[in-house]
Amino acid sequence: MAYRPGGLSMARNQSAYVALLLASLLCARATPALAQEPGGAHMFVSGGKLWFPEENQLGQGDMRICSLTPRRPSVDFDLAFGLVSVLVPIADLDVALPLRVAPGTLVIPRVGATAMAALGTIGGYATGWNYGLGLVLNAQGPLLFRADYAARQLQGVESELDGPTHALTLGVGWTF
């Protein structure tokens, strides 16, 4: 029996993305007096889509903690959850390298290890590797915007979670 998660309604997702985009554009207009140099630890909360093998997809929410110090390799930790009736946590531990491409804009390539579990009626786990690319806007501001892509290659032990997954998320972040 293959794992086939159901998606969330498209209209509800589009409303959430539009609200997130509007909030991010307002943050991009933050006053210079509130601005600070990018760097140090930042936390991001995001939402988006996660694609499984055989083109199944579901909503995803995640929390990411990372450094935005340009040209300095750093640890990037992401804890994501598939938004379905069962708990599907996904943890990524990566090495990232933030690169400044324009004032207030960073591109962050990363690569590392990943682990995924399915808790509930389907059960199973998988481990593997991942790579991804993040785009951070308003990097000097008190509130930041991040778009992120991740690709994961998973290998499970007696699991239906084997195979590649892809995720695309949009979110907001702040310094802590």
Mean pLDDT of the chain: 79
pTM of the model: 0.75
Q: Rounded to whole angstroms, how far apart are CA atoms 100 and 39?
A: 11
Which pLDDT score is estimated for 57?
83
Residue (of 27, 20, 57) closest to 170 by Cα position: 20
pLDDT for residue 20: 57
| Cβ neighbours of 100 (radius 10 Å) | 15
Q: How far apart are CA 170 and CA 176, in angstroms?
A: 20
If one compares 17 and 124, the residue with the highest pLDDT of the two is 124
Q: What is the DSSP letter of 28?
A: H
Tens of pLDDT, residue by residue over 54-68, are 667 888 999 999 999
pLDDT grade for 111, boundaries at 50, 70 and 90: very high
Among 172, 174, 173, which residue's Cα sits nearest to residue 17? 172
pLDDT band at 18 (very low <50, low <70, confident <90, very high): low
Domains and CATH numbers, the chain: 37-175 (2.40.160.20)
- Between 55 and 103, residue with greater pLDDT: 103
DSSP summary character for residue 8: P
**Burial zone of 57 (CB within 10 Å; 0-12 exposed, 13-18 middle, 19+ buried):** middle
3-state DSSP helix/strand/coil % of the chain, to nearest 5: 15, 60, 30
Q: Is residue 12 predicted with pLDDT exceeding 70?
A: no
Calpha distance 90→111 (Å, rounded): 15
Mean pLDDT comparison of 32-46, 47-61, 151-165, highest-scoring range: 47-61
Distances (CA, A) of 28 to 57, 63, 64, 90, 157: 31, 21, 20, 30, 45
Under the banding of pLDDT at 50, 70 and 90, the label for residue 17 is low
Better-predicted residue by pLDDT, 34 or 52: 52
**Residue 160 confidence (pLDDT):** 58
